[in-house]
């Protein structure tokens, strides 16, 4: 199965430059470096990019996620083994990507976990995100982007402050089970929306199967994180309340990054919900529901985001300015921006 | 709750049934679980297909396949949340549907889950709400082509649990509505399957369907199914950690027995869970703060989630590895789908 999946991705890479995609997303076209053509999209601008560009965009996000979880679970980055990562069986990633400018990972440290529950979840997630990096590196080969500069320290304080999390200016996700979960929360639902947005850009069934499979894993992770926060703070007094702050900020940044049509017809504004309960009507009268699933309140379909929306979140608003795309987007987790090929997304 | 624990303990000796790839492969061909529901399920008539052909599904066929599964999930969760199922308006036949008979639900033990805390009730409410939303979404998307709900047998949990080795035939039937932990095991039966079903169906959507947003919808629902699966697997794992051992929390081993059964029924890909080529990942009980959990169901090399074909999903929901079967298990009269008859 592994070989088969790698082969699927190889197929993506070796495919000649794909046909122009009608995206209806001027923002995407702008992010792609202005390589515009409307040939196949009379009603909207279209972007020229390869499947490798899509996968490299995902690879940047996986670098970010994997390093966060490796640091939190093992106290090391994805490319350096230590006793913890070795004992857990986590891959040591050989950073073979060369496209773009390699950067260093700053911030982050091992969380002094107090419960098996949260620690085991952190270790599992680290292992799985590492495998995603490895899968994409192996598939992209010489087309793979280098790991960019990644800030996993002060970035959280910047975001927490912007989100209005209490004492955000000193917030660290590396101090306890609880703060780790909040840090993880920042990423997981975003991963879901990013792969969801990307899935529709991959049109051959075999490639789609892989993208759908990674999408599923990101949603498993998101479900895991949201469930655990909900369990630890059922009344919404502390960390569960912070999820509302974070989701509101993500939705605001996402909306600011949406300069054309939404990537999914089922998206709403806001396109993100924290763990605050909501009311549903199942029988005769309304009743209270948790919000483990981050999806719209009508169709229960998870949200999708285009690359500019995702960039605007992970750079804390760096992807748009004056109503236009800013490329490269720089800020927060990516102080030097993402790495990408000539027509890639950054 | 205690009842299931005892039953699981007793069933330990039957684990040979589900462990060992060789034994599994041998058992697969003959495995067919017989439902015990009343009404229309009492005498199912399989429809043999001498020369199975792979149907060429239209987008409506794909959506209707998903709708059948959502009917099943929605009924389970709505009964668990409220003690009642989908309203008549949510199960009727579209004006142009080739399937016209609106099915009934054999309810068995179906009822509001007993003894839940408010927090537990709220999560059941959420999943019920979201699965019903999927039913309504698909029916709206299909419009006149929406198939009606087929007959659904919610008493099939009993025989399924016997086949999985969770209980024995002589013991009281497994009842997923008896407690929150039993409910989690019942939910576990569906959720990972839902993920793999949407993963497998996504590639069947036509280019026109992709342009019309159907792929976006399918992948968005896939994600929601994975959120649900993540919830169920996290809850089972967390409650096992809290209990301290699988002996003290037999629902985790019960879920793994469900996985082993699903693996056997995934015709064409029947490797035992967590072995090479399998489409199932067993839950684990992390020993301490240095060991990983197994919340995510994904392949061990690349951490990519699994997919199943509509045929494999039908084998599972019918509880039958037999080729040429047109009904059974949760669907005593078959699904209202072009995929209704199982193939190799």
Helix (H) or strand (E) holding B77: helix B59-82
Higher pLDDT, B13 or A315: A315
Verify whether the Cβ–Cβ distance B223 to A206 is below 8 Å.
Answer: no
Q: Which tokens sit at B257? A: 């027995």
Which of 77-96 (A) contact B at CB < 8 A?
84, 87-89
Q: Give the model's pLDDT for residue A25.
A: 28
A42 close to B (CB below 8 A): no
A124 at B interface, C-beta within 8 A: yes
Q: Are A339 and A181 in contact (CB under 8 A)?
A: no
| Lowest-confidence region among A21-30, B55-64, B249-258, B319-328 | A21-30
Please state which of the ranges A15-19, A195-199, B246-250, B288-292 shows the lowest mean pLDDT: A15-19
Beta bridge partners of B153: B106
| Phi and psi angles of residue B59, each rounded to the nearest 5 degrees, phi first | -60, -35
> Please, what is the average pLDDT of chain A?
86
Tell me the β-bridge partners of B298. B305
Q: What average pLDDT score do residues B109-114 get?
A: 97
Cβ pair A30, A320 in contact under 8 A: no
Domain residue spans of chain B? 2-72+156-318
**Residue A283 in contact with partner chain B when CB distance is under 8 A:** yes
Peptide bond into A328 cis (omega under 30): yes
**Model pLDDT for residues B270-312, shown as the tens digit of each residue:** 999 998 889 999 999 999 999 999 999 999 999 999 999 999 9
- Check residue A300 and give left, alpha or beta (phi > 0: left; psi -120 to 50: alpha): left
Averaged pLDDT score across all residues of chain B: 87
User: Taking CA atoms, what residue in A is nearest to B200?
Assistant: A209
Can you give the pLDDT at residue B54?
Answer: 58
Indicate if the pLDDT at residue B24 is higher than 90: no
Smallest CA-to-CA distance from A223 within B194, B29, B2, B301 is with: B194
Interface membership of A176 toward B (CB under 8 Å): no
Alpha carbons A8 and A136: distance in angstroms, whole number: 11
CB contact under 8 A, A212 and B137: no
- Each residue's pLDDT tens digit, B182-198: 999 999 999 999 999 99
pLDDT value at residue B161:
97
Residue A204 has a pLDDT of: 60
**CA angle at B104 for the pair B103 and B107, rounded to the nearest 5°:** 150
Pick from B122, B233, B235: which is nearest to A288 by CB?
Answer: B122
CA distance B92 to B73: 17
B136 — contact with chain A (CB < 8 Å)?
yes
Contact in structure between A142 and A56 (CB atoms under 8 Å): no
Q: Cβ–Cβ of B219/A199 closer than 8 Å?
A: yes
**Per-residue pLDDT, A200:** 75
Inter-CA distances, A322 with A45, A316, A318, A319, Å:
20, 15, 11, 10
Cα–Cα distance, B286 to A114 (Å, whole number): 14
Distance CA B89, CA A342 (A): 53
Interchain proximity A121–B289, CB inside 8 Å: no
Domain-by-domain residue ranges, chain A?
A: 51-322
Q: How do residues A162-213 score in pLDDT, each as one tens digit?
A: 999 999 999 999 999 999 999 999 998 999 999 999 887 775 666 677 888 9
CB contacts of B195 in chain A (<8 Å) are: 216
Q: What is the pLDDT of residue A315?
A: 97
Q: pLDDT class for B23, splitting at 50, 70, 90?
A: very low
Task: Report the residue from A123, A283, A301 with minimal CB separation from B137.
Answer: A301
Residue A4 has pLDDT above 60, yes or no: no
**pTM for the full model?**
0.88
For residue A124, give the nearest of B202, B213, B292 by CB distance: B292
Q: How far does A37 lie from chain B, in Å, by closest CA?
A: 18
Q: Is the pLDDT of residue B108 over 90?
A: yes
Q: What is the per-residue pLDDT across A22-74, written as a single tens digit (0 to 9) for each? A: 222 222 222 222 222 222 222 333 457 888 888 999 999 999 999 999 999 99
**Model confidence over A99-115: pLDDT tens digits?**
999 999 999 999 999 99
Q: Is the dihedral of CA A22, A25, A26, A32 positive or negative?
A: negative
Report which of A281, A107, A292 is spatially closest to residue B191, judged by C-alpha positions. A292
């Amino acid at each position: 199965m592994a070989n088969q999946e790698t082969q699927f991705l190889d197929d993506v890479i070796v495919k000649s430059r794909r046909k122009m995609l009608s995206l209806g997303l001027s923002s995407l076209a702008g992010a792609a470096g202005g390589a515009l053509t409307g040939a196949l999209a009379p009603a909207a601008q279209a972007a020229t990019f390869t499947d490798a560009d899509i996968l490299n965009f995902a690879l940047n996000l996986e670098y970010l996620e994997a390093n966060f979880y490796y640091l939190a679970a093992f106290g090391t980055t994805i490319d350096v083994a230590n006793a913890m990562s070795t004992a857990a069986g986590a891959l040591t990633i050989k950073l073979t990507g060369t496209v773009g400018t390699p950067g260093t990972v700053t911030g982050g440290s091992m969380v002094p976990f107090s419960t098996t529950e949260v620690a085991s979840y952190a270790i599992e997630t680290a292992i799985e995100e590492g495998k995603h990096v490895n899968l994409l590196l192996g598939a992209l080969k010489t087309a793979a982007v280098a790991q960019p500069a990644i800030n996993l320290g002060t970035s959280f304080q910047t975001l927490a402050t912007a989100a209005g999390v209490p004492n955000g200016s000193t917030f660290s996700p590396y101090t306890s089970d609880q703060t780790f979960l909040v840090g993880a929360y920042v990423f997981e639902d975003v991963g879901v929306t990013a792969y969801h947005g990307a899935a529709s850009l991959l049109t051959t069934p075999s490639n789609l199967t892989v993208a759908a499979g990674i999408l599923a894993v990101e949603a498993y992770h998101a479900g895991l994180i949201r469930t655990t926060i909900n369990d630890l703070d059922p009344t919404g007094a502390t960390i569960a309340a912070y999820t509302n702050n974070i989701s509101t900020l993500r939705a605001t940044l996402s909306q600011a990054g949406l300069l054309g049509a939404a990537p999914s017809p089922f998206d709403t504004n806001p396109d993100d919900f924290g763990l605050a309960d909501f009311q549903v009507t199942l029988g005769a009268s309304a009743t209270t529901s948790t919000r483990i699933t981050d999806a719209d309140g009508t169709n229960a379909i998870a949200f999708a985001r285009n690359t500019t929306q995702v960039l605007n979140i992970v750079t804390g608003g760096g992807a748009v300015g004056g109503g236009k795309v800013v490329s490269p987007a720089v800020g927060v987790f990516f102080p030097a921006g993402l790495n990408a090929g000539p027509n890639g997304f950054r | 709750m205690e009842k299931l624990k005892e039953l699981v303990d007793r069933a330990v000796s039957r684990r040979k049934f589900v462990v060992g790839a060789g034994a599994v492969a041998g058992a697969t061909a003959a495995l067919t679980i017989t439902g015990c529901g009343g009404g229309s399920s009492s005498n199912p008539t399989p429809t043999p297909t001498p020369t199975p052909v792979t149907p060429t599904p239209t987008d409506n066929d794909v959506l209707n396949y998903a709708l059948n599964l959502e009917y099943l999930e929605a009924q389970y969760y709505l009964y668990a949340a409220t003690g009642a199922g989908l309203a008549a308006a949510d199960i009727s036949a579209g004006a142009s549907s080739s399937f016209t008979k609106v099915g009934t639900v054999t309810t068995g033990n179906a009822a509001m889950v007993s003894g839940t805390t408010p927090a537990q009730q709220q999560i059941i409410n959420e999943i019920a709400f979201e699965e019903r939303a999927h039913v309504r979404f698909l029916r709206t998307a299909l419009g006149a082509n929406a198939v009606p709900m087929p007959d659904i047998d919610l008493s099939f949990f009993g025989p399924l649990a016997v086949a999985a080795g969770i209980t024995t035939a002589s013991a009281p039937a497994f009842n997923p509505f008896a407690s929150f932990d039993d409910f989690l095991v019942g939910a576990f039966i569906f959720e990972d399957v839902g993920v793999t079903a949407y993963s497998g169906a996504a590639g069947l959507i036509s280019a026109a369907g992709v342009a019309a947003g159907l792929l976006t919808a399918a992948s968005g629902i896939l994600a929601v199914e994975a959120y649900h699966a993540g919830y169920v697997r996290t809850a089972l794992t967390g409650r096992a950690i809290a209990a301290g051992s699988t002996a003290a929390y037999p629902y985790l081993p019960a879920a793994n027995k469900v996985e082993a059964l699903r693996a056997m029924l995934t015709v064409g890909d029947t490797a035992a869970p967590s072995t090479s080529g399998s489409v199932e990942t067993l839950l684990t009980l992390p020993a301490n703060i240095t060991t990983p959990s197994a919340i995510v169901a994904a392949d061990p090399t690349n951490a990519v989630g699994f997919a199943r074909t509509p045929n494999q999903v039908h084998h599972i929901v019918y509880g039958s590895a037999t080729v040429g079967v047109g009904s059974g298990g949760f669907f005593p009269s078959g699904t209202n789908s072009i995929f209704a008859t199982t193939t190799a």
